[in-house]
Structure formats: C-alpha cells, structure tokens
Chain A
Amino acid sequence: MNREIAVVAFAQTDHRSTSEELSEVEMLMPVLHEVLDGTGLKTSDIDFTCSGSSDYLAGRAFSFTLALDGVGAWPPISESHVEMDGAWALYEAWVKLQTGDADTALVYAYGKSSPGSVRDVLTRQLDPYYLAPLWPDSVALAALQAQALIDAGRTDEPALAAVGARSRTAAADNSHAQLRGSVPQGEYLVRPLRTGDCPPIGDGAAAVVLAAGERARELCARPAWIRGIDHRIEAHGIGVRDLTDSPSTRLAAERAGVFERPVDTAELHAPFSSQEVILREVLRLDDGVDVNPSGGALAANPVMAAGLIRIGEAAARIHRGESDRALAHATSGPCLQQNLVAVLEGDPR
C-alpha cells in the first residue's frame, strides 16, 4: 500500500557564524524560493507544508509563525510544525503523502544560533528534574559519551581528530559549509573533546520538496525515492543508556531497510566526531561507503536544519547521478538521543 515518495528538490543557505543582518524569515525566504524554482512549483501548488525550528535558539517567540510569512501562507495553507530538526518535519510530510491526502510537500527548517549561547540553550531540552538544573551543556554531554568510547577502546583522540579533519577536507568542495579545508584541532572545549571535534556554531536554513509517484517524475529528472524511513528514541535517562552504542539508530536502520543491500553514500548527522564513530559501527558502513561527502555537521551545523540537510545532500547526489542508493541519518537531543534513518534510491541508469 506504500506510495512511492521522492525528494525532488533541495536548497540550503550558506551556513555562516552569524546572520545578524537578517531576521529568520529574511534568512529562510531565498531558500524557499530556490527550492520551489527547482521544481517550477508555486506555493499554491504545494499540498502540505511542514517545518522544523526552535524559538529558543534566537530567543524570538513564535518565530515559526513569522517564518510562514516567507511561504505565502494566505489564503490559509495546510501546514504543520515540529519543534525538532527538519528531518522530523520531513517524516511528518512523508506520512501525510502516504495517507494520499497530499501529492506534494514543502519541508523546511532553519536555525539562528548566533543571537544566543546554543550550548546553554540546549540544556533546556533535558530532563527538567534531574538534568536541567545542573546546566550540563551539549559539549559536556558529548564529551561524556566520547570518554566512554575511549575507555571502551573504540577510539582515541587522534582518531577523533581524523574524523573532523576528513569532514572539513570533504567540505572544501561544499560552498555552503561553514568550516572548509584545514581547520586546527584546537584546545579542549570539554576534555576529551577539542574544538575540532565539535560542530561550528552558526545560522542557516534548508528546504526540500517531496512528491509522490508520477508527480515526482514530472518534477525531477531523477527523483531520490525514499525506500524506507524510520525514527526511534533511547531511554531519556542518560545514565540508563550504554552511551557507546546507538540501538535506536540500529533499529531505525533495520526498519528503513538499510541492511538489505549496500549503500554507496551515507550522510550522517554526527555533530561530534565521537558520534560518527558510533554511527559507522551501528550502520555497518565500511570503507567502500562515501561517508559525509558534504562535510557533514562538523563542517556546518545549523541547529534544527542540519538533519534535514543530510537528507537533502543525499538526495542531491542521487539527483546528480553521483549515488544510486544513499543512507541519510538525522539526530536530535543529547548523545544521539533520537535518530532518524532514511534510504534513498535513484532509478536505474
């Protein structure tokens, strides 16, 4: 009964350390226009619109409703929002298309971290009784996970540094990325993680268009078909989890069909170098797989958009004929708390 649904267009901003000259909608709107132009669709042609963002990042109440100004949401459109990475907005849109209520969907996400202190902002998503009162910032929690991996003999600091270096070398070809080429590994931010193990902090936005069946073929020469997509979550108590493993990613990957046939490309949302180590093992990615050719989140990490960008980057490689079967992964929350995995395929060439 599953409908065939594809990513038919993808656009993103250049991700930069600040965008203070632009409001959120001013930052987002060019991306919306670009992604629609890529398909020839207008807002009025889109059956369903779904976005992912968080007002806490820029400290601007109801920013997601203001962002809708950039869509042209009047007369009223069918629209929804998730306070999560845009990858989960894409999941909602995929479900909407599966129901048959819509044939096309616009999915977008944006994050403006520069006005605030994102390390502290992200503490507000934690357990409000046992964790949030201690203000454990996002780097600290990732560092606990990294140390657990080191203690388990699964990585060491030079290996972690190599992950960051490879990501930014790959990003040299990605003009949208924030950190490109050679970047110093730097000092400890929270030991064992150095600045080079951590994502750049910046602002950015991204958008994709989904379409079902023949509509997708009309809109895109080589649609990136979503063959499977699933998301799973870990127990919310950090101390309950084995931080060196990611059973939620493994389960989501199984349900998405990742292991049925090899993938040639994987876009992993690993904001910290240590998290890529875990994801590669769980997803069984060997050296034959091109991992994060975009540079990944270590090269550009606009919070709330970086996961959607992984799906968009994987799809764009299929659109361009550079991949036939790609895996895209998105994460949310501390220490790979929640994980989404999608498998994208192009038609045989």
Chain B
Amino acid sequence: MSAILKAPLTVEFPFTRSLGPIQSAFLTGLRERVILGVRTGDGRTLVPPVEYDPVTAEEIRELVEVAPTGTVTTWAWNHAPRRGQPLATPFAWVLVKLDGADTGLLHALDASGPDAVRTGMRVRVRWAEERSGAITDIACFEPYGGEAAEAEPEGHSGEFDDPITGIVAPARLDYTYSPGRAQTGYINALVERRAVGERCPACRKVYVPPRGACPTCGVATAEQVEVGPGGTVTTFCIVNIKAAHTANLDIEVPYVYGHIALDGADLALHGRIAGIPYDQVRMGLRVEPVWTEGARYPDHYRPTGEPDAEYDTFKELT
C-alpha cells in the first residue's frame, strides 16, 4: 500500500452575529467599562446577562450595574495557554462572582502561579486598552486586595450612545487532513495523469472519484479500474458570472462547466469544458482532459473531434 497522504487544512471563518437587547447592552457596556447584569423575576442578578430566565424562560429586561470586582468561585490552572485564549502566559481560568451578581463570569486570571490562586480570592477586572464591545474587552482578571468594591456602581441605565448591534467572531481550526484509502489511490494516479476509479463488487458500477463505498450497495469498493482518458459530456451549464474565487480569476466568462462521464466510469465527474465556443457545447460531446505543467488535476476538458456519443450510451449517467 502506498504511503498515507496528508495535507494541512485550515478552516477559517468569521461569524457575524446579531445581538439581542440584553447582550447588546452588556457588550456595549464593556466597551464603556461598565458591567451590566440582568435581574430575574425572583430577584437574582445574572452576569453575564441573558435574554431569558434560564429557569422560567421568562423574558427578562431589567439591567443592573455590578462592580468590576468580585470573588473567585472555582479555578483551574492553565500552564500551557492555547491559541485565542485571553493570555499568552500561564494563567488561571476562573469563574468570578462579581460584587452585586449571583452567577459566575468565565474569564482568565493573571496570577503568578497556581499557589497564588484559591477559591474565594478577591479579583478585579483588567480592561483591554482597545475595546470594541466584546467579552474580550475584559483583558482578564487580576488579584485585588480590597474587600469591598473600589467604588459603588453608579447604577447605569444600560442606555448607551451608539450601542453595538452585532459582533464578528472569527474562528479558525487547523487540521491535518488525510483522504483515506480510496481517495489516496485516486490522487496517486492523478500524479501520473491517470484517472482511477473503484468497482463495486456487488453491482459492478465503477465510481470515479472513488469514495471507498458503493452508495447503492453499502459495501466497500476495492478493485481499482483505470478509466478515461476520454469521456462524454452528459450535461452542462454556461457560467456568466465571474467567480470571486482566486483559483478561477483567469477564466473569462462565459464558460462552460459540465458533467463528464469518463469512458468506463458509471458516475460523471465535473469539470470545465473549453477549446470550443461556449454555445457549441452539447450533450454527447466527446472530450479529453488537458493538463498544464505541474498541475495535479486536469485544467479543463476539450473536444476530441470524435463523433458525438449516442444519447442511449450515457442517458443513465446524466
């Protein structure tokens, strides 16, 4: 068996999220160095605040300012901070019950070591220098000697000029992708400019690219079958809008994208069809792959000049 293929894969996306009225007030408050909670029907103050009572599901809207000081209710020492976490140096994760609140806020505590942290210790907010209306406007907590609040909260109304209405939350996850046995065989063959599918042992259909299983029979496909290089256009469309994707910037519109049944395959794959005016592409057109120097897959397919295939020969593949 050939060596296992692997490649780095980064999945990265910014989520744009709208905020409800309570979330908006809380996050806008952080921007202004004000911490707001929300009062429940039974008189508890939730920080961070939510839109609905977690016990009764009642809509809750009464905002209450709480202090930037509080007490650690539990903690965990993180000696190896990970990407995206609040501090790059070792820190304690903490739940902090802020003075005036009845629930815990999760954040980081900047402390010299685990021996400097205990449940019940007093901490205060360290504000980020640049604040935008996000939970990260709190840079972290830091140890604090005072017993009571430094200054009584001023009873902020929760009304702000220019409240934020949404956040953009970037997310990035890194993977080492490996395609599995069947696709590894397919990719290795492409290096030699060959197309290799796999045949189902039950229904005898040949799948290209192979996925390792026959979706009709639910059994493993194992027998490799070389297909193509020629094939038949089974259906197509004319693309009139230039793709934003950087890989396609060089391709002028209109162009044709089609399904191509390679000779010997029972499933059509798709690719761009060129070397022929776009309005002359047709079902049944015989095509072959065109490779460019150093490419890992065909750049496009072009007409072979053979007579068109009869519809009956590919109608099951459209």
Contacts and interface: CB of A to CB of B under 8 A. Distances in A.
Interface of A: 20-26, 29, 32-33, 43, 56, 58-60, 66, 68-74, 115-117, 119-121, 123-124, 128-137, 140-141, 143-148, 151, 188, 190-193, 235-240, 243
Interface string B13-26: 00101010001000
Nearest to A59: B175
Given A59-B177, A120-B82, A147 B119 contact: yes
Given A20-B4, A22-B180, A188 B135 contact: no
B312 to A, nearest CB: 22
Contact of B169 (A117, A133, A141): A133
Interface string B168-195: 0101011111111111000000000000
Majority SS of interface residues in chain B?
Answer: mixed
Contact of B95 (A69, A72, A116, A239): A239
Most buried by B among A141, A190, A192, A240: A240
Given A58-B175, A129-B19, A136-B85, A25 B216 contact: no
B174 to A, nearest CB: 7
A190 B217 contact: no
Contact of B74 (A56, A137, A148): A148
B179 A236 contact: no
Interface string B87-111: 0000001110100000111111000
A43 B104 CA distance: 50
A29 B108 contact: no
Contact of A133 (B6, B134, B211, B212): B134
Contacts of A141: 93
Contacts of B94: 144
A309 B45 CA distance: 40
Contacts of B290: none
B181 A26 contact: yes
29 contacts: A22-B180, A22-B181, A24-B180, A26-B213, A29-B212, A29-B213, A29-B219, A33-B219, A59-B11, A59-B175, A72-B215, A74-B216, A120-B84, A128-B15, A130-B48, A130-B106, A134-B84, A134-B85, A134-B136, A144-B76, A144-B95, A148-B73, A191-B76, A193-B76, A237-B103, A238-B106, A239-B104, A240-B46, A243-B74
B253 interface: no
A116 B173 contact: yes
A29 B218 contact: yes
A98 B119 CA distance: 48
Interface of B: 1, 4, 6, 9, 11, 15, 17, 19, 23, 27, 46-48, 50, 54-55, 73-79, 82-86, 93-95, 97, 103-108, 114, 119, 134-136, 167, 169, 171, 173-183, 211-220
A158 B4 CA distance: 42
Contacts of B217: 72
A145 B134 CA distance: 25
A346 B135 CA distance: 51
A327 to B, nearest CB: 27
Nearest to B108: A134
Nearest to A43: B218
Given A72-B219, A120-B82, A21 B181 contact: yes
A69 B213 contact: yes
Contacts of B19: 129
A26 B114 CA distance: 45
Most buried by B among A20, A56, A133, A239: A239
A236 B54 CA distance: 8
A66 B182 CA distance: 13
A23 B7 CA distance: 14
Contacts of B46: 237, 240
Contact of A135 (B79, B83, B95): B83
A191 B103 contact: no
B76 A117 contact: no
Contacts of A70: 213, 218
Contacts of A72: 214-219
Contact of B93 (A21, A23, A140): A140
A64 to B, nearest CB: 13
Given A20-B178, A129-B17, A130-B106, A74 B215 contact: yes
B211 A69 contact: yes
Given A32-B218, A116-B174, A130-B106, A59 B9 contact: yes
Contacts of A191: 76-77, 79, 114
B180 A130 contact: no
Nearest to A135: B84
Given A29-B220, A72-B214, A147-B75, 13 more contacts: A25-B213, A69-B215, A72-B218, A119-B82, A130-B135, A140-B93, A143-B93, A144-B95, A191-B76, A191-B79, A237-B48, A239-B97, A240-B54
Contacts of B74: 144-145, 147-148, 151, 243
Contact of B107 (A69, A123, A128, A134): A134
